[in-house]
Copies of this chain bind each other. A is one copy, B any other.
Amino acid sequence: MIVQMKKGATKDEVDHIQKYLINKGFGIKDASSDEVTLFGVLGDVKSLDPTQLRVFSGVENVTRISSPYKLASKAFKKEPTIITLKNGVVIGGDDFVVMSGPCSVESEEQLRIIAKAVKDSGSNVLRGGVFKPRTSPYAFQGLGIEGLKMMRKVADEFGMAIITELMGTEHIDEFVKYVDIIQLGARNMQNFDLLKAVGKTNIPVLLKRGLSATIEEWLMSAEYIMASGNDQVILCERGIRTFEKYTRNTLDISAVLAVRELSHLPVIVDPSHAAGKWEMIESLSLASLAVEADGIIVEVHHDPENALSDGAQSLKPHKFEHMMDRLEKASTVFSKQLKR
């Protein structure tokens, strides 16, 4: 951390903040020139809040030079984190993993139709919402624990793993019992109680990027989970909020590259929520493969007109099959392979 003093800062002001830091156990390394008083703060500055140091009289600004996360950082662990699910699916290795299924679980029958279709097309992880974060209190809120049991049952019939969103700490025991991956939604990316709670389980966690979360904040949320003891975190880029409204969100495809530079954690893409339009899913999935994401999570519904949520961004099974064909073919020229 670098502290720069204001032009007219007095010797007393410089002494005051330096003493404060020394008392806290940090070292000081002077780097002043004729024009500016400047010093580095040495030691483990992770717990030191740069904005806090700006409080001191005479301070111009404070710049962090190391990342505020540790466990999630590539500096801490060089090799990529590889997560193996019970049904054998491997995330973070050489495979391009496709998670797919309906936005909401609506009935056992609906789920079975869709699960069969996506499994036939080569997807081995079944997604589906049973607790739904809906903007409107008047919209369908999900089937709850009953839906969770349906997912487990149907997935087992097809040898699939399941992923579903946990919205609060209340149902965590049932999630640990039933699911293969716990999903934390964009709106809960900084629900710190929830981050700590899933950090105490040993179930892989898919952490979606918040609507307006920086990459650093996203990795800090991963750090929360890991600091609580669970290092099986999968990151998921799902589009960020910008001024552009033609798409539901703006897919930040470069974020996949950024995360791979900064962290050892696997990262997948959710083109369905990013675009909000089924017509764009196939192309954005191919782009995700091209930047060597570890996979995608895609919404599929056999009857989007009657879907209880997100119909407009759901692929029909034959479109999904078409996309899987293209991904399989395209994966031959990229580093990640689509196994079907």
Contact = CB atoms under 8 A, between A and B. Distances in A.
Contacts of A194: 168
Contacts of A38: 2, 31, 40, 65
A83 to B, nearest CB: 21
Interface in A271-297: 274-276, 279-280, 283-284, 286-287, 289-292
A47 B138 contact: yes
Contacts of A121: none
A340 interface: no
Interface centre among A55, A63, A274, A307 (most CB of B within 10 A): A55
A222 to B, nearest CB: 10
Nearest to A311: B55
Contacts of A167: 191-193
Interface stretch (A85-93, A105-113, A153-161, A208-216): A208-216
A42 B334 CA distance: 46
Interface string A169-203: 11000000000000000011011111110000000
Contact of A35 (B42, B46, B227, B309): B42
A31 B33 contact: no
A290 B46 CA distance: 39
A223 interface: yes
Given A167-B192, A214-B243, A250-B252, 20 more contacts: A2-B31, A30-B31, A31-B40, A34-B42, A52-B312, A137-B223, A168-B191, A212-B243, A240-B242, A242-B243, A244-B252, A250-B254, A251-B252, A251-B254, A254-B274, A284-B291, A286-B291, A287-B290, A329-B333, A333-B333
Interface of A: 2, 4, 7, 20, 27, 29-36, 38-40, 42, 46-47, 49, 51-52, 54-56, 60-61, 63, 65-66, 68-69, 75, 133-139, 141, 167-170, 187-188, 190-196, 211-212, 214-217, 220, 223-224, 227-228, 240-247, 250-255, 257-258, 261, 274-276, 279-280, 283-284, 286-287, 289-292, 304-305, 307, 309-314, 329-330, 332-334
Q: Which 10 A-B pairs have the closest CB atoms?
A: A31-B31, A212-B212, A55-B311, A168-B193, A286-B290, A187-B190, A290-B290, A287-B287, A137-B227, A51-B312
